[in-house]
Structure 1
Amino acid sequence: MPRRPPAAARDLRLTATARARHGLQAALFSVRGDLMTSDLPTVRRVARELGVDAGDLYALGCIHEIQHALIAAHERSAPRPVLSRALASLAAGPPGRAATERVLERYLARFPSPAVAAGRRSPSDDLRGRTGGRSNRTLTLEELLLTALANANPAAAPLQALFDDRPLARDPAYRRVVERLPGLLPATPGGPGTMPDPDAPEPESRDEIAAGLD
């Protein structure tokens, strides 16, 4: 019986600028299979440099990895992987295959995967590869969605310097991908198919990030 490839490691993607500014060589949070790991001393240091509570940053990392777990559950239960279907739908348009590929490449340039961050691959080369038996295009699309969710979360605003996607959002194709993705994924309360309500009242404090864990 053929051995299943090891699960791809999933980590909280940070901008290349934030990684350089805070001297980050490895992920703050990472999940492989059902195991989440975190570099707590570095989490505390980065939080101190940002002037935020380390608990807020840790809570955000936990929420991010829970969202990965929800997507993984959908991937296992669906007849065809949901992210592959979403990618095919985006390629069919709008925004179309070429625009979607450009969006993914630009995302990887700003939010590098471990291979891109280490200089082993260019964004375009990375997209053509596979990790843990999965297409890197679908892995990147998953990270893009969760990055967009973090940026849309008002409670995460004090931490946005780590995952600011506003330069990417100047591209109409990026905005179109972000707009379409929730409708292409199963909606789960608080899950990956659920975008924050823009009309919801803003949280009163940063501590409400942790409410996403309830």
Structure 2
Amino acid sequence: MNYKNIKNQRSKIKIVVEINEKIMGSLTEHVLLDYTSIRNFKSWKELFKNPQPLKVDIGCGKDDALIERALHEPHFNFIGIENDSGIAYRFEKKIRRSKATNLLLVLFDAHFVIEKMFDNESVELFSMQFPDPWPKKRHHKRRVLTSPFVKILRDKLRENGEFFVATDVQAVSELALEVVNICGGFKRITQGELKSHPFHTLYEKKFLSHGLPIHYLKFKKID
């Protein structure tokens, strides 16, 4: 992990936090924003009103789909991780308006957050919807779907926990299969077993409305 980049991101987030505090007043309970908040983090149980199984969306963006999922599944606690401060603040406003009490947003690097803030065998589901494919070779290092990262996800998942990937890019689908096979400890849920989900992102709806294919992959953690 590049801690120099983490430090730079901390400075940028601090500036955004200060600006938004002036505009919005005190920050809401829904969002963990700055590096200080993460450093002082103790447990998710202290942040959610009810201790419930965790579902984590990596690169959640600002789409309403995650809010709809949280409202539809009140017996789970949802955590969205977003690295873009502008997107995160827009999404934070939506969360406040929704009054969802089982959804938190973390503005920071997903690798750092998942590795440092989650105990092993503590997460019910990790979802990754339409990750940036970074097709150019010189950008491959920016990809989220890597075998070291998926190994971390596997360790954080509970027994029979699941890892879900949605993408419109065939190469990303193939990459997901490749890195999961390298990691081991997963069983793929077949298309016949894969239940359709009712909460589509705007990006997903656009593709579906044009009849374009979307690849859905779900893997279950096994011993």
Work out whether the TM-score is over 0.5.
no
- Structure with the larger RCO, 1 or 2 (CA within 8 Å, 6+ apart): 1
TM-score by length of 2: 0.28
**Bigger fraction of residues in strand:** 2
TM normalised by structure 1 equals 0.28
Name the structure with the higher helix share: 1
